[in-house]
């Protein structure tokens, strides 16, 4: 009977250690699962952050494309010294369109009083054609300012205007 109680005690001890081992194993597995879950949650947060960054970069790319279009439009308003011929041609074309005769008497660059080119202009035509020319020139895509304007009737129904036009859309 003593032997059988010894066997029973050994069996109970082995069962106890097996159960203890299983408990430790389950605790270890639970700990590993918790660590893996935490890593998965952190990975999902990181993926969401990268997705947001990718979307932000796409939006920035679209915005840059739109800004490039706006920059090109804005840049077309400003002319450099070698491109002033374009402005002069547009002034002449506008005068023909309005029915006025345009005579550019001179151009002054970088004077002491004015850092913009100044055009000395003489116009001849009817009052309405001169008025329309000045109105359209002021409302063109270029920024201009009238420095001095003399308008007088020539006597035969035609009018003459002499003016100084400052070209503000100049990029030195």
H or E stretch at 103? strand 101-108
Cβ proximity of 171 and 131 under 8 Å:
no
Is residue 128 assigned to a domain? yes
Share of the chain above pLDDT 90, in %: 23
- Tell me what percent of the residues of the chain surpass a pLDDT of 70: 88
Range of the domain at 118: 81-167
Q: Domain boundary at 48, 77, 106, which?
A: 77
- 172 inside domain: no
Tally of structural domains, the chain: 2
> Which helix (H) or strand (E) segment is 121 a member of?
strand 118-125
Which helix (H) or strand (E) covers residue 27, if one does? helix 2-77
Helix (H) or strand (E) run with residue 29 in it: helix 2-77
Same domain, residue pair 66 and 92: no
49 is written with which tokens? 């952050």
Q: What is the pTM of this model?
A: 0.56
Instruction: Return the minimum-mean-pLDDT range out of 35-44, 71-80, 103-112, 144-153.
Output: 71-80
Give CA–CA dist 77/143, Å, rounded. Answer: 8
Q: Do residue 63 and residue 4 come from a single domain? A: yes
pLDDT tens-digit series, residues 114-172: 677 888 999 999 899 989 989 998 888 878 888 888 889 887 888 999 998 887 877 66
């Amino acid at each position: 009977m003593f032997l059988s109680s010894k066997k029973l005690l050994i069996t109970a001890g082995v069962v106890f250690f097996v159960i203890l081992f299983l408990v430790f194993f389950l605790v270890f597995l639970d700990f590993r699962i918790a660590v893996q879950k935490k890593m998965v949650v952190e990975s999902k947060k990181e993926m969401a952050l990268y997705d947001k960054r990718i979307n932000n970069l796409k939006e920035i790319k679209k915005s840059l494309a739109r800004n490039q279009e706006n920059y090109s439009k804005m840049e077309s308003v400003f002319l450099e010294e070698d491109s002033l011929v374009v402005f002069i041609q547009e002034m002449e074309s506008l005068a023909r369109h309005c029915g006025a005769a345009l005579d550019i008497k001179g151009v002054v660059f970088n004077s002491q009083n004015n850092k913009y080119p100044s055009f000395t202009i003489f116009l001849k035509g009817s009052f309405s054609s001169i008025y329309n020319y000045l109105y359209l020139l002021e409302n063109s895509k270029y920024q201009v300012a009238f420095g001095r304007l003399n308008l007088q009737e020539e006597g035969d129904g035609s009018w003459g205007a002499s003016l100084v036009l400052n070209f503000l859309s100049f990029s030195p």
